[in-house]
Structure formats: structure tokens, C-alpha cells
Structure 1
Amino acid sequence: MPGRREDTPALPAILGLAGHAIRWQLLGELARSDRQVHELTASLGQPQNLVSYHLGRLRGARLVSARRSSADRRDTYYSLDLALCGELLAGAGGALHPALALAPPAMPAPPAGLPPIRVLFLCTGNSSRSQMAEALLRRMAGGAVQVFSAGSRPTAVNPDAVAAMAAHGIDLSAARAKHLDEFAGHRFDYVITLCDRVREICPEFPGDPQPVHWSIQDPAVLPDGRPAFRRTASELAERVTFLLHRILRPQHTA
């Protein structure tokens, strides 16, 4: 006599969202870089109203967030919450069968026999965001990545950024703000802008590096002081972790 049949679990929301072709393409684009709507419409070859509709669906599920550009308030950058995507996809597999629950992958080893990957972080002042990203990536990647940072109008490293990094076990007290001109003519595999303004004026670098944009607000302009720097450091640590999973794949593929 057959045993009691378990009820089939309801369809996880992430599968209904990601299972649509346009939304899947949007997730793929935003997994690589923060984007504006006109960039997404160009990449997908779809009309803006359709792209905006599907972005709205993803925002309603909290997978995608929007932030006004600090360079031009008429523009909006869209960002993907990769950590939440991972949680929901893991839960979707586990809902079907416990053996299908996804576990976070181990950090990949750097490709053998290839030179270190070179990454440049850019923001305006090179005082906090790019300095913190540089320090985090250097610690996480070890010798597999050569990492640098600079600014379009460098000032001085912010003491609150130093304090935020100290909470992550990183000493930033000796860091120096640098102008991006110091790296003119240098070759990089990735150039990552963290400031909307510097993205608009980012120079070209030889070797056709992969451009990536993280639209992160300058914590120095936020009213709550050091807590804003701690939040920024946590966001950067998460983004750098996901970045490493991408750039340490064999053959430096993006």
C-alpha cells in the first residue's frame, strides 16, 4: 500500500520572476554592473516601457533597488541584491528536495600560470569608497589580484573610513589618496567606478579593461557619520566577495 503522498510545494516566487526571459536578462546585466534604464534597453534590445515594467517587478520582490545618480539627479541606477538572489535560489532548490538546496560556493582558486588580475577602483576623492574597496579586495584575494585605487579630485583619506576598515581588521591609516592620472597608460583587467560622477569622466585605459559600476553614495555626505561608513564597508565587502567569484574564474572571463 503506497505511503502518504507529500504535497507538492508551491512555486517559489524567485522562479516565477527569474523564469521570464526579459527578467532573466535583466538579472544577468545587473549581476555584472549597476545600470541605468537606457543602458539596459540597449543591452536587451527592448523598449524602455517594457524594461521599466520588468524592473518594477524585480524591485517589488526587493531583488533590485534604485538610487538617484549623484552626477545627475534625473538619472537612476539600478542595483541587484546578489546575496538575496542566492538565498532565494537556495530556498527554491530546497523546496523541491532537501538535497537540492544550494550552498555558497567555495572561493575559486586563481587560474594557474596566469599573471595576477589587475583591478582599479575609482571614485572622486579617493578618500573612502575606493580606498575601502581596494583594501578589502587586497585582503580577500591575496596575491591573485593586484589592486589599486584613485580619484578624479583626490583629497585625503577620511578618518571615518580608517575606523570602518579597522572594524574589518584592516589598517588603512597609511593609505594615500591618488589622482587617476597616476595610472594613465597602465593596463587593467577591471576598472570599477564607485562614484556616479567619476563614471561620467572615466578615462580609457589600454587593454580594453572590463568596466564595472557600483553606484554607492559617498558616506561622507550622509548625516549619521561613522555608521554610514560602516554600512558602506559592509556593502563593499559583499560586493567584493561576489566580484572575486567572477574574476577568479579560469581565463579571467567576465
Structure 2
Amino acid sequence: MAEVRSVDTAPPAFLRLAAHPLRWQLLSALADGDQRVRELVARIDQPQNLVSYHLRLLRNAGLVSATRSSYDGRDSYYHLDLDRCAEAFADSGAALHPALRRHAGPPDAPPASPSAGSVAVLFVCTGNGSRSPIAEALLRRRTSGAVTVASAGTRPKPALHPNTVRVLRESFGIDTCGLRPRHLDTLAGRRFDHVITLCDRAREACPEFPDNPRRTHWSIPDPATAEGTDDATYPAFRRTAADVDVRVRHLLPVLAATHRQEDPP
């Protein structure tokens, strides 16, 4: 008589966690960008204590993180770790059958990106000296210039922070010769498909733009506020650049989808 293999009937922890309707709504909402609890409460239309409870479960699982708002210290922004979600989905598939195990491609394989000149993106922070120009440079690099991309500040600095120049050069090989801080007002009237704020203060001050672009918020602390010499604060810039680069990589399929929707075959 053939031996019968025992089967673990319990679904993986990630599936049990994400399958809850309210938690799936929270994951879906945070996939659109970083949000505060009150925004999630309004979007999901559930009591704050219930939303907070399920957010805590997602945080404990490492799927969601929270950072204190630099605009209002009483608020926190919640962020979805898309890389961790991808790993959890892949591990769940492998638990069902080895054939569903994710096969990693080349480490630098580019995600889908839009066609040349098809999508316009604006990155906004307060000083336009670190976070938003880093995002501008990385998106331009990762799309080989196919996306129309700009950055600006609500209160721009006189020049890029020296560590912005250094981290783009040393970590990504990007020359910042053409990057200069500029005021958001200089872009008034320009059309953008996506406006992405990287600063909690800038999110509150960012004006409306023509044609109702998609608004997204990335709550990223300003590395320029770290105390010490440029050498001492450089690790903060490296962490910021790494965070921005992950978010830019996940932005590429969104931009490609924007292009397909606007220019159907």
C-alpha cells in the first residue's frame, strides 16, 4: 500500500493575515501611497480603534511600518513594504507547490516602463535639495529618460545638499550637473500625470495642478536635518536614497499602466 503523505492544511500566515477583508482594504489603500490613520479611517469607513488594531497586526508581521509626521508630530504616516509583500506572496505560493516558487530574475532586470515622453511626473519636497532631486534623478535613470520628470520645492534651498550630489554619484553613478533647486511656482500651469510629495510639510502646501494629476505621498524624513558634519550625516542620505530607489522601482509599473490607459491601442 502506497504511503500517504501528510498534508498541512493550515494556510500560510501571510494568507491568513491578508485574507481578512479589512486588512486587505488597508493593504490596498497603502499600495497607493503613505497615509495617516484618519485618512485610512475615512477611506475604509470603519472606526479608528478597529483600523488601528488591524494596522498593528500588519506592523507586527513586518508588512507595514509607521513614521512620525514631520508636519504634525501627533500624526504618523503608514507605509506598505511592497518588497516584503512580494516575498510573502511568493513564499505562500511555494507552500502550496514547489512549482509556484518564485524564480528570481537578474538583480538589475528593469521593470516595465512607459514609452518615451508618455508620462510626466513631478516630485515635491520642501527644500528641493535632497529627497525630491534624488527621486527625479533616479526615475530619469531607471527610465532612460523616457519619462518627463521634474522636482521642485515649496521653499527651495540655494543649492543641492553636498551629500545629495555625493550619494547620487557614489551609489548610482549619476552626475547632478543639471540639477538645481527651484520653486514650485515656476511649474505653475504645467501638466503632470503624477505629483508625488516626499515631505509631510510639502504635502500640506502643495497646490493643485491642471488636469487633476494622481497625487501620491511618500513620507520620507529629511536627511538634511541630521546633525553633524557632511561626513557624519552621509549615512542618512544613503538610507534616504535607498528608500527612494525602492519606491521608484515600484512606481515604474504604475507609470506603464498610466501610459496604457491614456494611449489604448
Q: What is the TM-score when the length of structure 2 is the normalising length?
A: 0.89
Residue 131 (structure 1) aligns with = 133
Question: CA separation of 1:9/1:169 partners in 2, compared to 1, >3 Å: closer, same or farther?
Answer: farther
1:206, distance to aligned residue in structure 2 (A): 0.2
1:16, distance to aligned residue in structure 2 (A): 1.1
Question: CA separation of 1:32/1:103 partners in 2, compared to 1, >3 Å: closer, same or farther?
Answer: farther
Q: How does 1:82-231 map to 2 (within 5 A)?
A: 82-103=82-103, 107-110=111-114, 115-155=117-157, 156-166=159-169, 167-223=171-227, 224-231=232-239
> In 2, distance between residues paired with 1:64 and 1:236?
16
The partner residue of 1:234 within 214, 217, 242 is 242
Share of identical aligned residues, percent?
54
Structure 1 portions without partners, runs of 5+: none
Q: How does 1:21-32 map to 2 (within 5 A)?
A: 21-32=21-32
Question: CA separation of 1:109/1:74 partners in 2, compared to 1, >3 Å: closer, same or farther?
Answer: closer
Residue 34 (structure 2) aligns with = 34
Q: Which moved more, 1:12-21 or 1:124-133?
A: 12-21
1:45, distance to aligned residue in structure 2 (A): 1.1
Residue 251 (structure 2) aligns with = 243
> In 2, distance between residues paired with 1:122 and 1:69?
16
Matched AA of 2:199:
C
Q: Are 2:12 and 1:8 equivalent residues in the alignment?
A: no
Q: Secondary structure at the match of 1:186?
A: coil
Question: CA separation of 1:184/1:104 partners in 2, compared to 1, >3 Å: closer, same or farther?
Answer: farther
Structure 2 portions without partners, runs of 5+: none
Q: Does the 8 A contact of 2:113 with 2:252 survive in 1? A: no
1:174, distance to aligned residue in structure 2 (A): 3.6
> In 1, distance between residues paired with 2:87 and 2:122?
30
> In 1, distance between residues paired with 2:198 and 2:5?
52
Q: Are 2:60 and 1:56 equivalent residues in the alignment?
A: no
Q: What is the TM-score when the length of structure 1 is the normalising length?
A: 0.93
Q: Which moved more, 1:142-151 or 1:117-126?
A: 142-151
CA RMSD, 1 decimal: 1.8
Matched AA of 1:81:
D
Q: Secondary structure at the match of 1:78?
A: strand
Q: Secondary structure at the match of 1:192?
A: strand
Matched AA of 1:234:
A
Aligned length: 251
Q: Secondary structure at the match of 2:219?
A: coil
Q: Which moved more, 1:9-18 or 1:68-77?
A: 9-18
Q: Does the 8 A contact of 1:190 with 1:212 survive in 2? A: yes
1:189, distance to aligned residue in structure 2 (A): 0.4
1:178, distance to aligned residue in structure 2 (A): 0.5
1:101, distance to aligned residue in structure 2 (A): 2.1
Q: How does 1:71-82 map to 2 (within 5 A)?
A: 71-82=71-82
Question: CA separation of 1:252/1:101 partners in 2, compared to 1, >3 Å: closer, same or farther?
Answer: farther
1:66-115, CA deviations, whole angstroms, 9 ceiling, x for partnerless residues? Answer: 1111011011110011111111111110111111123568622526xx85
Q: Secondary structure at the match of 1:79?
A: strand
